[in-house]
A and B are shown apart, each in its own frame.
Chain A
Amino acid sequence: MALDASDVEKIAHLARLGINVDDIPGYARNLTDILSFVEQLNSVDTSGVEPLAHPLDATQRLRPDVVTEGDNREHFQQVAPETEAGLYLVPQVIE
C-alpha cells in the first residue's frame, strides 16, 4: 500500500493536523514504510479469533449516577488560552 502526497493531505485534514508542504513527501514515504511493515499481520489467519480489547477481558465498570466532583470551573479554566464569563472562546463559527 503506497500512499502519495494527496493521501497524506487527506489524512492530515481528517486529523485536523497542520503539516508543512515540504514535509509531505517524507511523511508519504514514512507512512508507506510503516503500512507495508504492518501488512505482515495479513500473513496469519485470524478467522474466528476474538479481538482483544482489554488484556484481562475486563468490561467497563459502572458507578452510581451521582455527582462526585465539585465545581472547579474557574480553577480548570486558568490554563485555558482564552475564556470569558466561564466560557471558552474560539473564532466565530456562525456568521
Chain B
Amino acid sequence: MHQKSLVELAADLRSGACSSEELTRACLQRIAEHDGRLNSFITVTESQALAAAQAADAALRSGKAGPLTGIPFAHKDIFCTNGVKTSCGSRMLDNFIAPYDATVTEKLHEAGAVMIGKTNMDEFAMGSSNETSFYGPVKNPWNDTTVPGGSSGGSAAAVAAGLVPASTGTDTGGSIRQPAALCGITGLKPTYGRVSRYGMIAFASSLDQAGPFTRSAEDAAIMLGAMAGFDPRDSTSVDRPVDDYRAQLNEPLQGLRIGLPGEYFGEGLEAGVGDAVSAAIEEFRKLGATVTDITLPNTHLSVPAYYVVAPAECSSNLSRFDGVRFGHRAENPQDLTDLYTRSRGEGFGDEVKRRILVGTYALSAGYYDAYYLKAQQVRHLIRDDFMQAFRQVDIIMGPTAPSVAFKLGEKADDPVGMYLSDIYTIAVNLAGLPAMSVPAGFSNAMPVGLHLVGNYFEESRLLNAGHQYQQVTDWHTRTPQGFE
C-alpha cells in the first residue's frame, strides 16, 4: 500500500479494493514502525484520523467522493488545526492548541483528505536542515546520518519513507523544494498568493507560500488543486480562478523552450549533482524540448537580499509572541518587560533569536534604507532578470540544491554556510514565481532534485513537464532501503 501513488490509492478507494479506514490504519502502522528513527512527526492524530477516514468511507459509498476523499496526508506543524497542537517546531508554541483552522487545513478537510498528524520542521520554518526544531532533528530516510533538508523536513521525510502518500509544506526560501530534492520526492511551491496564508504561522509574509509534497507530479497536481484558491482572509491572496492542474499533464513537450542559467551551474555545485541534472535535461531534449543558455545576472545577490528581507519580516511577525495572549510565558515575571523578555528568551531557539536580532537591527532607526529598502530594490532587479528570461524560454531548469543531503551537525555552527544551501531556490521566492523540484537521479547514493521554475501562475506547465519526465524515468518511484 505504501508503495502506491496517491492516484493509485484513490482508484483503490473508488473500486473498493481498500477502505480509507484500512489505508489510514496502514499509515498509522507505518508511522509506529518507522518514525522512531526518523522523527518526522511531532503529533499523530490517530483518533481524529480514524473518524475522518470513516466519514470519507461513507462519502465514497454514497458516490460523493473527490480525488482526495479518504487519502491520508501529513500536515506541516505550521498550519493551524482546530483543537490540535500547532507548535511550529518551537518551545514557544509547545502548549498551543490552535483555536481555529488554517484555510489550507479547511480546504483539505473539505476535499475529504484525512489528516494523520503534524510534521516536524525547523523552528518557525527557519532552517535548511530541520535541526533547529525544538523536537529534535529529522533524519533523512536515505541515510540517517544526513539531514532531510528544511524547513519542511518532516513532511518530506514522511513521504519519502512511505509513511503517507502526500504532505503539506511551506516555502519561504526553498523550504519545500530543497527537502523534496534531498529526500528524493516531488515538491511544488506555487506562485506567491496562489495558496492562502490564513492560519499558516507567518515567517516572512512577502515570501511565504504553501504547497504539496508527493512522490509524483501527477499527485502534486491533485494536492495543489485542493489547496489553491482565493481567500479574502489573506490580504495577499490572488483573486483568480484555480486551473485544473491535471488538464495539461499529458500534453507532449514538443517545442517546450527550456532555459539553463549559467549562474546555476558554476562554482559550488557538487559534480554528481551537476551530472544528474545534465542527464535529466537530456531526457527533456529527447522529449522534444529545446534547450537554451540564459543568464540571470543578479543571482549572486539573491541570498544576501533574502537574509535582509526574511529576518526583517520575521522580527516583525514574531513580535506577537510575547507571553500575554498565547504560547510560552515565563514564570514569576517581575514586570511587563521582564515578562516579554524572558518569555521570548525561553521560548525561542538559537536560530530564531539570531534572525530576530538581524531583522531588528536592519529595521532599526537609521538602518532601514541601507538594508531593507536596498534589499527590496535588489529584489526588483532579480525579478527583472526572470522576466527577461521568460521572454525567451518557458521553463528555467537547474539543480534544486548545490549538493545532496549533508551530514547532521555539519553546518550547525556556520549560519552563512547553511544559508547558501538555498542558493538556487531563494531567488524564486524573492520574485514570487512558481517552482518545483522533481527527483532526477542520485549522487553518492543520495537523491538529486531537478529544479523547474515557471512564469507567474504557470503551475500547470511545470506539472506537465514534471509528469512527462516521470513517464520516461523512474527516480520518483525509488524507495529508500529499510522502507520498502
Interface string of A80-92 (1 = CB under 8 A from B): 1110000010111
> Bound complex: CA of A41 vs CA of B382, how far in Å?
12
B305 touches A41 (CB 8 A): yes
> Bound complex: CA of A16 vs CA of B304, how far in Å?
26
Which chain A positions have C-beta within 8 A of B238? 56, 58
> Bound complex: CA of A90 vs CA of B333, how far in Å?
9
B377 on interface, CB distance cutoff 8 Å: yes
B357 touches A35 (CB 8 A): no
B392 to chain A, nearest CB (A): 21
Interface residues of A in 35-81 (CB under 8 A from B): 35, 37-44, 46, 49-56, 58, 60-61, 63, 72, 75-76, 78-81
Interface residues of A in 1-58 (CB under 8 A from B): 3, 8, 11-12, 14-20, 23, 27, 30-31, 33-35, 37-44, 46, 49-56, 58
B472 on interface, CB distance cutoff 8 Å: no
B432 touches A55 (CB 8 A): yes
A54 touches B356 (CB 8 A): no
A41 touches B308 (CB 8 A): yes
Instruction: Select A91's contact among B206, B325, B339, B373, beta carbons within 8 Å.
Output: B339
Give A63's nearest chain B residue, CB to CB: B232
Interface residues of B in 310-336 (CB under 8 A from A): 315, 319, 322-326, 329, 333-336
Give B428's nearest chain A residue, CB to CB: A55
A41-B375, A53-B206, A88-B325 in contact; A18/B342 too (CB < 8 A)? Answer: yes
B337 touches A34 (CB 8 A): no
Give A40's nearest chain B residue, CB to CB: B304
Q: Classify chain A: how many residues form its interface, as a range.
A: 35 or more
Interface residues of B in 213-242 (CB under 8 A from A): 232, 235-236, 238-239
Give A81's nearest chain B residue, CB to CB: B329
A2 to chain B, nearest CB (A): 13
A46 touches B374 (CB 8 A): yes
B353 touches A27 (CB 8 A): yes
Interface residues of B in 333-348 (CB under 8 A from A): 333-342, 344-346, 348
Give B93's nearest chain A residue, CB to CB: A79
Which chain B positions have C-beta within 8 A of A37? 303-304, 307, 416, 419
> Bound complex: CA of A49 vs CA of B384, how far in Å?
11
> Bound complex: CA of A18 vs CA of B328, how far in Å?
13
Of A50, A52, A53, most B-chain CB atoms within 10 Å: A52
Which chain B positions have C-beta within 8 A of A80? 324-326
Which chain A positions have C-beta within 8 A of B324? 80-81, 88, 90
User: Which of these binds chain A: B117-125, B163-171, B358-366?
Assistant: B358-366
A16-B341, A81-B329 in contact; A11/B416 too (CB < 8 A)? Answer: no
Q: Is the interface of B mostly helix, strand, loop or mixed?
A: helix
B483 on interface, CB distance cutoff 8 Å: no
B354 touches A27 (CB 8 A): yes
Give B344's nearest chain A residue, CB to CB: A17
Give B379's nearest chain A residue, CB to CB: A52
B346 touches A12 (CB 8 A): no
A36 to chain B, nearest CB (A): 9
Give A33's nearest chain B residue, CB to CB: B416
Interface residues of B in 436-458 (CB under 8 A from A): 456
A28 to chain B, nearest CB (A): 10
Give B96's nearest chain A residue, CB to CB: A79
Which chain A positions have C-beta within 8 A of B380? 49-52
> Bound complex: CA of A31 vs CA of B325, how far in Å?
30
Which chain A positions have C-beta within 8 A of B344? 15-18
A11-B360, A30-B354, A40-B304 in contact; A56/B338 too (CB < 8 A)? Answer: no
Interface string of B13-56 (1 = CB under 8 A from A): 00000000000000000000000000000000000000000000
B345 touches A11 (CB 8 A): no
A46 touches B381 (CB 8 A): yes
> Bound complex: CA of A57 vs CA of B304, how far in Å?
22
Give B414's nearest chain A residue, CB to CB: A33
Give 6 closest A-B pairs by Cβ, nearest first.
A18-B345, A55-B432, A51-B376, A46-B377, A81-B329, A16-B340
Question: 25 A-B contacts, Cβ less than 8 Å apart?
Answer: A11-B357, A11-B364, A14-B364, A20-B345, A31-B354, A33-B416, A34-B307, A38-B305, A38-B308, A38-B375, A46-B378, A49-B377, A49-B381, A51-B380, A55-B193, A55-B432, A60-B235, A61-B235, A75-B99, A79-B95, A79-B326, A80-B324, A80-B326, A81-B324, A82-B329
Given A49-B380, A78-B97, A90-B333, 15 more contacts at CB 8 Å?
A: A11-B357, A16-B319, A16-B340, A31-B354, A35-B361, A37-B307, A38-B305, A38-B308, A46-B378, A53-B376, A55-B432, A78-B99, A79-B96, A88-B325, A93-B335
